[in-house]
């Protein structure tokens, strides 16, 4: 039986980072809404309570019945989770004199406590809260403090009292999941591995073996249709399904006309090389017609998603014995589409269920994986590296990298500029012998078609569009930093784009991080 950690999500922006850090410990975890704790699940070995945008005193604050797991399973409360535990079990939480945000240092630490094994005195942590714990419940002890936060961490080995449950409970007011808590990974390892007893047997190999077995059981002798996008996720999903059910998988690759330059044919060749049964459909005329005059990015996504389903459905109906639709949906897709507070960040065209007219059951073999885990699974499956290391690319393609309405000419301009940028990243070898493409998580060009920039070419003034280049470093797409590309490379790419791409007379570089920005502009 596979062990797992349950992370109860109270709406924090960093809940997914907690999950990512647990996965890095080769331990499976599941992020669930705060009120959806799975009862009577013997595979659960521990519980983590996330942060939250709310105060425990807010009328709309999210609340969970702690009796479901306190005393029965080890518990770790983080930020709001720590405050909620104190508030619920008889401690005291009050509004801080000033919001405690940013770096702090643990001036006192109980290094004998199992949660802080391996910690160093003065270890840096990251605070982000408006309330503070001023008193902890009876039977609990303080195990770490900062200069301004007395109850930076507290615990109880028997929170319900002697003989009423022996599983310990820990609480920290800082965020161990973020990069700025320098020993946060150690703290989470202490909790997940030493305290909860994880066997650390979650791996790409175990995922492949387990998933292939589950797919065989789930699908039986049915036929499956998979919508391919050309990206890593759908490609890995296809190879995984092909291993499970062989020629009962039919793949459909829809070209909406907004792929990268020459991408449709290149991807079709790759898929044939993998032995996949792929039907390629050029539906660009329909997509361009339906997108004409549309400028709102969310509306673009919805139109593309709708048209994709229509085109895909028309092809799928030709496969009369199909019973399943497979998608390359991964964990961040589902997380971003709707978080626990109910606020949509952006729509994903492969999230949200199926139209009733398709009459197919949904199969999402990668739905629990982060992007880097998908790549590890692809390597485990023996896929070629140029497919595995391929940068993420949005499902709506260049439509969400063109600010303003979509036309074939704008797509042509952006394809040419993007091709120069991506080719340059692949060809430029840095001082350590690594190409810039492999150092970057995701890169692409954005056409600011709503902006006219003045330029001078020869003896004439020009009024054309700027192009913004975007390149970021990341591990899971939940957070990202702008890539510090060499100046000589940037100068070379900028010069080539302006000289060779008709319609562009200015090149900019986006130096925004996520958060607060997103990786894509729209």
Annotated catalytic residue: which of 177, 373, 464, 520?
A: 177
DSSP-derived 3-state class of residue 412: helix
Q: Give 49's strand partners.
A: 8, 77
Query: Is residue 386 annotated as part of the catalytic site, yes or no?
Result: no
Other CB atoms within 10 Å distance of the CB of residue 345? 11
Residue from 29, 30, 79, 196 carrying the catalytic annotation: 79
Determine whether 460 is an active site residue: no
Which three-class secondary structure state does DSSP give residue 178?
Answer: coil
Q: Quick check: is 79 catalytic?
A: yes
Helix, coil or strand: residue 433: coil
Q: How far apart are CA 388 and CA 274, in angstroms?
A: 13
Give the torsion sign (CA, 190, 192, 198, 202): negative
Tokens of 95: 């509004």
Q: Enter the tokens of residue 67.
A: 């009796």
Verify cis geometry, omega within 30 degrees of 0, for the bond prior to 459.
Answer: no
Tokens standing for 250? 């039919």
As a whole number of angstroms, the distance between CA 412 and CA 427 comes to 22
Catalytic residue among 87, 129, 175, 348: 175
CB within 8 Å of 436: residues ≥ 6 apart: 424, 425, 426, 428, 430, 471, 483, 485, 486, 489
* Closest among 168, 109, 114, 115 to 140, alpha carbons compared: 168
Structure tokens at 363: 């199969």
Q: Give the catalytic positions in this structure.
A: 79, 175, 177
């Amino acid at each position: 039986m596979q062990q797992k950690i349950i992370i109860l999500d109270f709406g924090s922006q960093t809940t997914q980072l907690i999950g990512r850090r647990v996965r890095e410990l080769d331990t499976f975890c599941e992020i669930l809404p705060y009120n959806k704790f799975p009862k009577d699940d013997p595979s659960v070995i521990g519980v983590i309570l996330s942060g939250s945008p709310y105060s425990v005193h807010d009328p709309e604050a999210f609340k969970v019945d702690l009796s479901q797991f306190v005393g029965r399973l080890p518990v770790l409360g983080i930020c709001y989770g720590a405050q909620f535990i104190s508030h619920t079990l008889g401690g005291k939480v009050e509004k801080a004199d000033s919001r405690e945000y940013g770096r702090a240092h643990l001036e006192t630490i109980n290094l004998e406590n199992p949660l802080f094994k391996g910690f160093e005195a003065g270890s840096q942590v990251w605070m982000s809260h408006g309330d503070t714990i001023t008193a902890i419940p009876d039977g609990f002890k303080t195990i770490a403090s900062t200069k301004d936060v007395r109850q930076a961490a507290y615990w109880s080995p028997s929170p319900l009292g002697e003989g009423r449950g022996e599983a310990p409970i820990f609480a920290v007011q800082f965020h161990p999941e973020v990069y700025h808590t320098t020993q946060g990974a150690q703290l989470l390892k202490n909790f997940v591995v030493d305290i909860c007893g994880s066997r650390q047997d979650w791996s790409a190999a175990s995922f492949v073996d387990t998933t292939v077995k589950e797919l065989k059981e789930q699908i039986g002798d049915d036929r499956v249709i998979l919508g391919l996008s050309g990206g890593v996720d759908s490609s890995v999903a296809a190879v995984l399904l092909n291993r499970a059910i062989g020629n009962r998988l039919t793949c459909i690759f829809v070209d909406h006309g907004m792929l990268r330059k020459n991408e449709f044919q290149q991807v079709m060749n790759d898929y044939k090389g993998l032995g996949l049964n792929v039907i390629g459909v050029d539906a660009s005329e329909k997509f361009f017609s339906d997108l004409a005059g549309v400028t709102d990015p969310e509306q673009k996504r919805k139109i593309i998603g709708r048209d994709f389903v229509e085109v895909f459905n028309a092809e799928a109906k030709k496969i009369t014995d199909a019973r399943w639709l497979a998608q390359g949906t991964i964990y961040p897709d589902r997380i971003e589409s709707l978080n626990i507070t109910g606020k949509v960040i952006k729509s994903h065209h492969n999230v949200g269920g199926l139209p009733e007219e398709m009459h197919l059951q949904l199969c999402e073999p990668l739905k629990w994986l982060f992007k880097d885990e998908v790549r590890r699974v692809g390597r485990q499956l023996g896929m070629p590296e140029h497919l595995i290391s391929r940068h993420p690319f949005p499902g709506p393609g260049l439509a969400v990298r063109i600010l303003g309405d979509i036309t074939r000419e704008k797509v042509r301009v952006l394809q040419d500029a993007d091709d120069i940028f991506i080719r340059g990243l692949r060809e430029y070898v840095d001082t350590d012998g690594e190409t810039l493409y492999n150092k970057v998580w995701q890169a692409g060009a954005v056409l600011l078609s709503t902006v006219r920039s003045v330029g001078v070419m020869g003896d004439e003034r020009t009024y054309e569009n700027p192009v913004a280049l975007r390149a970021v470093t990341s591990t899971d797409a939940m957070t990202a930093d702008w890539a510090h590309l060499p100046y000589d490379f940037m100068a070379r790419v900028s010069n080539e784009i302006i000289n060779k791409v008709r319609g562009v007379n200015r090149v900019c570089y986006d130096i925004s991080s996520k958060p607060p920005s997103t990786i894509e502009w729209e």
